[in-house]
Amino acid sequence: MKLARFQLAGTAEERLGIVQETRSGISLLDVAALPWIGQDRGMLRSMMSTIEAGPRALDALRDLQRRFIAQPDPCWEHAADSVVWLTPVPERSCIAAGRNFGAHRLESIRGNPDAGAGFQIDFPTGFIKLGRNLVGHRAEVKRPDDVEQLDYEVEVALVVGKPLLNVSRAEAAQAIFGYTIMNDLSAREWQLAEMRNLLVMMGKNFPGFGPVGPCILTADEVPDPTALRLWLTVNGELRQQADCSDLIFGFDELVAFWSRVGLQAGDIISSGTPEGVALHRKPDPRPFFLKPGDIVHAGVDQIGILETRIV
């Protein structure tokens, strides 16, 4: 099942939607509007209440979806292009793995041997993406005035389903609520300057530098996360393409490792990106950096497509 947060045009209320995919296109089933919701209304009032309720909430949503299919009514459904897509979860902690795809690690080392040769040997490394800088599907992201090297990074992001502290890989795997898509936008001139001081913060955290969405694919529909296939295009040109079998540290390993700092329901952990970023394009990366007017599509075949417009 695919779940999304959205707003109706001209309103500020968060609504929980079940993504419906048919031959005629994509729509959102408005959970709160369904007449059969009954005593489950409180449990299903938001994405966070759904995540926190766990399997019981998902069972209730599946039942509502079955009832709608048996008795459809267009007043309970909204076309995908008629709503405002929100980030899949409200502002939460977001940890992004760095250089966690084998091929991307190798292209990084070739591009800057001194900076990256020792990365991803003993344990995952990563950085924080500020939750307030995450934006949803179809968002416009402003390229900062002093940034010329704006880069893209398609990633698979998992959503934590419950509080965790220092858990095993097996426990971590069972605690993943679902998977979504992230585009880890990066200001490379800032990032590389910071990395000379062995830090990364500003280059990953300008406003809007975390497009995420459009929805969450629940973990029960992802029996093998390594089979997730991700790709990215800029103005229709394919830039990145890989599957998660190239991950150095798997999703369960990332969750277990970072559970040592304490994780909460709704927290996001992102996979890292495959090869193909603009920074390491040869002989000249400059034509590949993002510019105002560019439209970026970050996709995961099993989840959907996350669209971002650079302005």
State the pLDDT at residue 23: 83
Is residue 82 predicted with pLDDT exceeding 70? yes
State the pLDDT at residue 112: 64
pTM: predicted TM-score of the whole model, two decimal places? 0.94
C-alpha span between 96 and 249 (Å, rounded) = 12
pLDDT grade for 237, boundaries at 50, 70 and 90 = very high
State the pLDDT at residue 120: 55
What is the C-alpha radius of gyration for the chain, rounded to an integer number of angstroms? 19
Both tokens assigned to 310: 């650079």
39 contact partners, CB below 8 Å, separation of at least 6: none
State the pLDDT at residue 281: 94
Both tokens assigned to 213: 């969405």
User: What are the φ and ψ backbone dihedral angles of 41, each rounded to 5 degrees?
Assistant: -55, -45
C-alpha span between 242 and 265 (Å, rounded) = 28
Both tokens assigned to 198: 């062995």
Is residue 231 a contact partner of residue 241, using CB atoms and an 8 Å limit? yes
- H-run or E-run covering 47: helix 47-53
Range in 72-81, 102-111, 300-309 the model is least confident about? 102-111
Instruction: Tell me the CA distances in angstroms from 202 to 195, 233, 256, one per residue in order.
Output: 11, 25, 27
C-alpha span between 192 and 215 (Å, rounded) = 32
User: pLDDT tens digit string along 101-133?
Assistant: 876 566 666 666 665 555 557 899 999 999 999
State the pLDDT at residue 118: 57
Both tokens assigned to 228: 């997730």
What domains, with CATH codes, occur in the chain? 2-85 (no CATH), 94-310 (3.90.850.10)
Range in 45-49, 76-80, 156-160, 193-197 the model is least confident about? 193-197
pLDDT > 70: what percent of the chain?
A: 94
Strands (DSSP E) along the chain, which ranges?
A: 2-8, 15-22, 25-30, 77-79, 83-85, 94-97, 126-129, 134-135, 139-141, 150-151, 154-160, 176-183, 186-187, 210-218, 229-234, 237-243, 268-270, 295-300, 304-310
User: pLDDT tens digit string along 255-277?
Assistant: 999 999 999 999 999 999 999 99
Arithmetic mean of pLDDT, 178-198:
95
Q: Beta 83-85 vs 2-8: how paired, if at all?
A: antiparallel
State the pLDDT at residue 248: 94
3-state helix, strand, coil in the chain (%, to 5): 30, 30, 35
66 contact partners, CB below 8 Å, separation of at least 6: none
State the pLDDT at residue 149: 98
C-alpha span between 37 and 31 (Å, rounded) = 8
Q: Kindly state the DSSP code that residue 238 receives in the 8-state scheme.
A: E
Spatial CA neighbour of 288 closest among 238, 229, 243: 238
Q: Kindly state the DSSP code that residue 263 receives in the 8-state scheme.
A: B
Q: Rounded mean pLDDT of the chain?
A: 94
State the pLDDT at residue 121: 72
In the chain, the amino acid numbered 66 is R
State the pLDDT at residue 48: 98
User: pLDDT tens digit string along 5-39?
Assistant: 999 988 999 999 999 998 889 999 999 999 999 88
C-alpha span between 106 and 100 (Å, rounded) = 10
